[in-house]
């Protein structure tokens, strides 16, 4: 019970931070996390009924760590978007350019988590295997949610006029921030 309570409190803090910092992109991130969490719950329920698998404290810990892995995936993409916009791209063009680069980084980071989970599964016994199982499952589901949900949803949002005209509502720098950066850069060149 304490592990579940700690997980819920941690998740609530993550929600507050990511929505506060990334605004509407944070809402997309939470929706992506909810989708991967729902898929994980379906798998856990299936394994529980078919194989007698029980969710232990170690499994809950694996799920909590996986929340961090999932949030990292979103942050990598959103920061690539911000960087491209600061480099002078429009919000719409930054979306198409940033996703392949960010997804490559996300895959590499998640493969590192998967290697760790596989090694833990292979080298340990008992409850630690539960941690490894849930961490591995959640990491795979994060890749699926990122590629099949988050990326396409942000591409759809990028086609809206609202995204182009008000990128700050999506947690992205506005045209004023880009202009200020350009002025700052040109002053540095003049010196």
Question: Average model confidence (pLDDT) for the chain?
Answer: 86
Per-residue model confidence (pLDDT) at position 175: 61
Confidence (pTM) = 0.82
Q: What is the pLDDT of residues 29-44, one digit of tens each?
A: 999 999 998 998 899 8
- Whether the predicted pLDDT of 46 surpasses 50: yes
Written as one string, the DSSP assignment of 2-66 is HHHHHHHHHHHHHHHHHHHHHTHHHHHHHHHHHHHHHHHHHHHHHHHHHH-----HHHHHHHHHH
pLDDT class of 87 with cuts at 50, 70, 90: very high
Provide mean pLDDT across the span 113-141: 90
Q: How high is the pLDDT of residue 44?
A: 87
Over the stretch 130-188, which tens digit does the pLDDT of each residue have?
889 889 999 999 999 999 999 999 999 999 998 888 888 888 988 654 444 444 444 55
More confident call, 98 vs 54 = 98
């Amino acid at each position: 019970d304490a592990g579940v309570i700690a997980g819920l409190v941690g998740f609530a803090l993550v929600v507050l931070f990511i929505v506060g910092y990334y605004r509407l992109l944070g809402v997309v991130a939470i929706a992506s996390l909810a989708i991967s969490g729902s898929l994980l719950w379906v798998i856990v329920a299936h394994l529980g009924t078919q194989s007698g698998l029980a969710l232990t404290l170690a499994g809950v810990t694996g799920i909590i760590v996986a929340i961090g892995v999932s949030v990292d995936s979103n942050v990598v993409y959103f920061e690539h978007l911000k960087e491209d916009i600061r480099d002078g791209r429009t919000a719409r063009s930054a979306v198409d350019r940033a996703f392949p680069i960010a997804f490559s980084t996300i895959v590499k980071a998640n493969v590192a988590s998967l290697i760790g989970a596989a090694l833990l599964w292979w080298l340990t016994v008992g409850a630690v295997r539960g941690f490894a199982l849930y961490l591995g499952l959640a990491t795979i589901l994060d890749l699926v949610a990122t590629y099949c949900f988050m990326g396409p949803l942000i591409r759809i949002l990028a086609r809206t006029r609202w995204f182009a005209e008000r990128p700050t509502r999506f947690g992205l720098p506005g045209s004023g921030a880009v202009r200020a950066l350009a002025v700052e850069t040109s002053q540095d060149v003049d010196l």
